[in-house]
Amino acid sequence: MYFRKYIYCISIITTLLLELMSCTKNYIDKPIDRQIVVFSSIGGAGDNGYNDAITKGLTKIYMEHSEISMNYLTPESMEQAETMVHKWINESSEKVAQTLIILSGSDYRELTEKIISDSNFNSDNKIEILTFEIPELPQSQNNIKAYSFMIPMDSVSYQVGAFVAKMGCANPLIWLAYENDPLLLRAANGFEEGYKSITRQVPGRRYLSDDWHGYSMDKEAYIQMEEIDGKYDFIYPVMGGSNMGIYRYLRENPGGPWVVGMDVDQSLYSSNVIGSVVKHIDNLLVELVKKWIKGIPIEHYKDYDTQSGYIEWCPIVD
């Protein structure tokens, strides 16, 4: 009961924050100098994880800089996202002096590369793109500057793997959204090395989807948990919003495997959560956007490892 009230309150707060940001000055009706346009990952708003941490950071920025128009959009497909992003770029190139477009997820890699490779684009107004966790982001071929960063999970995942091994878990599973995401593979390999350092055994590995849809397939994750339960005694899930299907299953079946929370502290979702890999993406986003506001150059690409303080392993059991 208390858990449901907690989640209900989070949902309401998130909705109010999104409404607050969407009710800023409309640049179509009223000329403005600077604007921030945020695209959540596909269907990602309200995930009580990565996207909501982003919303938290954006809200702080808005409260301190309400003179800047801020718009938050939640596309339901990559096709819709591409149409919306191009619309904002085209209109901004004509009407707004400075625009920062934030693409909140590594699933925007192909779209980002497509935009910055368009050598025919030119604008008298300044348009910049900040996107998340895309390594080796190409240099722009037009006057749209693009920035990205990585919060590598190698070291933290190694810590979790060693921790799980010391707990005595004999059959852990690494469960990833899909196979070909470099960030996911680094997380998986880090956990595997940490676990092997204690047990000399290789954990199981599983993929939820063939592509980025694996980040938002919580219902499918819930269904597949019936197969996993009883076969594995621990799950290391790196699947974004799909993790919610795991937590839901474990609330209904608390005798199932241990699990780790991802991106934010998710210990309240299930008593089976032994700790969380916490990414302070809200604090990093505030740092980068404040640089943009102040006109301080942002690096084209940068890694933020465990020494940066933007990621940490937070166990809740001894």
Structure tokens at 60: 């702080």
* Residue pLDDT, tens place only, 259-279: 999 988 889 899 999 999 999
CA distance 133 to 107: 9
Dist CA 241 CA 46 (whole Å): 9
- Sign (positive or negative) of CA dihedral 292, 295, 296, 302: positive
Q: Outline where DSSP puts E strands in the chain.
A: 34-39, 69-73, 98-103, 126-131, 144-150, 172-176, 204-207, 234-238, 258-263, 273-279, 301-303, 311-315
6 pLDDT band, cuts 50/70/90, is: very low
pLDDT of residue 31: 57
The tens digit of pLDDT for each residue in 107-128 reads: 898 999 999 999 999 998 999 9
Q: CB under 8 Å to 139, separation ≥6 — which residues?
A: 116, 300
Handedness of CA 150, 154, 159, 164 (dihedral sign): positive
What stretches of 213-304 show up as alpha helix (H) in DSSP?
Answer: 218-228, 243-252, 281-294
Contact status, residue 235 vs residue 175, Cβ threshold 8 Å: yes
Average confidence (pLDDT) over 305-317? 89
Among the ranges given (29-33, 173-177, 238-242), the one the predictor scored with the smallest mean pLDDT:
29-33
pLDDT tens digits for range 13-27: 444 455 444 444 444
Q: How far apart are CA 289 and CA 129, in angstroms?
A: 11
- Check: CB of residue 21 under 8 Å from CB of residue 61: no
Residue 71: name the closest of 232, 80, 61, 113 by CA. 61
The whole-angstrom distance between residue 263's C-alpha and the CA centroid of its chain comes to 7
Q: What is the pTM of this model?
A: 0.79
Point out the least confidently predicted range of 24-28, 174-178, 221-225: 24-28
- The span from the CA of 306 to the CA of 172, in Å, is 24
Residue with tokens 């301190």: 64
Q: For residue 131, which of 102, 165, 154 has the smallest C-alpha distance?
A: 102
Domains of the chain plus CATH, in order, are 2-150+281-307 (3.40.50.2300), 154-279 (3.40.50.2300)
